[in-house]
Structure 1
């Protein structure tokens, strides 16, 4: 009787696009680690269309090659992750900059229950010349800080390419990006989905290739930053919008009483016009943050927190329409009162400052009311069931652990 096949615990996945110079070294280190540690594993090369014979090198060394036709860093890695047989996956670039021979900290953390294990090159050591100064002192620290601030990510090296995870957990959270943003999406989605995240030290040495890397500092840095902003409607829209709305309304109401002088500087109706504009822009940003969050939840792009879910469940299209109508009518009433006052003068000349001071709240009510009505109608559009059976109500009621049901 043949001996039972032992299940694979670890898949070491490397994206590959013309890495013939360094691929054999990386595969050798990974296989050496598996042999030394006794971990039952495999090496998977996710090839993204190499033309330098990388596929043949990998097969000759006993690695499993997965051909991924769709171009892009994220596509290549997702192709490798889906094809992996291991309970755990450790991914890393095939440029010989990461230490595939020392994966013990990653495996230990995964066995201890972590669902995502990030390497930290700043704690493990960066070889001189291995990371450009722009990345080391500006790009990575800034993006890591934003990741911590926006998503409470418990990692200090947000873009370390060597990371491990439980395969099932990463497939469950629904990763969609195809390019370099994939590195950020893994961390962001893991944080938003409540996965258990750990961090271990790792090292970084100089890229072993003679050609320039695929990474483009400013272009890819902006793509990562853009991704972080888009995936955080609170910081991109809600918080700035609330600040503008509160400050704009407070200043408008204060100037409604009359001119204000601060330190010898006078503020009157001209300032009031600008503060009202700030309030309108702020309110629009707040509504936009809600629309983005609802649309992203409906499409399975972002999970919805319990607090946000409770807030949305209390909202209805009808309530929104009524609120918008009340605000709009309040503006109309103020405008009519002003018209009547003008009629009392025989429609003659009025005091300009006093007239504008009354007109601004009327216009503010009309605009904010109309925006509220349109926002409610947009939510109504999102509530229409689609042919795939996905509805906004499903997204609102789904718990974070059910996010995969919305994605599939």
Structure 2
């Protein structure tokens, strides 16, 4: 099988690793057009086509949710580093892609599999390629290989998969939560003190709905990872039952569950919310029909409505419909000595006024009957 034929298989297999910074739900695979190309979005809103592929779908791990499960019967392929490097550079020179996202199954042993990914990055840097490279660190990779990977990549990541040791054990018998995952994250965090080592930091990914874990379990872990290891971003991949895997008869999670987890994680990571301010039901889950900031506001009406022309930045970003950008615009306008007099003014500043209306006052005037 030639390199491009392999790409159709190994590129399709890579779709389960998420990397879209702005909204993972918007990440798209250009299947049927250009195999291996995924459209992602950078923090500044720039659309970045990435070459996203597996080195191999051969794997000795038994992750019960995974299409590459060691006991699953299907065709297995692999790239050699030089071969994959040539395909990437061809795509890059044709301007099909702007960066590389590389992962792999574990074939033979962990370090030899990781070594091949690192070798791809080395070859590309030797070619003179100085663009974006994201390398997936395989669970259990040695310290020296992680260090080499970080010296070549812009970003690295280890998939945590589950929030708790018990949940992790539900999913696999071939990996250990504390040693293969958390210990490697700790190494990466320590190495990141050198700004030349993976300067864009590390991320991780959870499989939501495969293990018996609540949203509260998951968000406690994301909050802990942010605090302990400075994880730049946690991704939430909704479990999808796949034929001929041990979990093929399990149900997928509610379609909005991962979206609510992203919103709650943003409140913790960027909006200054404490974990105790998140609202969970009796089962430890977030309500799927409304966003977590709205739930917080409805459960804390003693804090609302806020006077837009007097509220601090931290008070403003707790208002449903007011984000960080629109809050900054409100503060900037006030510094110029200008007051906001009507909802239309807020709308022009980027506020979602239908959501914000019950929770704000303008010049001491209530904007909604729900405010009384």
TM-score bucket of the superposed structures, by smaller chain: under 0.3
**Alignment TM-score, normalising by the size of structure 2:** 0.26
Give the TM-score taking structure 1 as reference length: 0.25
More helix per residue: 1
Larger RCO (alpha carbons 8 Å, 6+ apart): 1
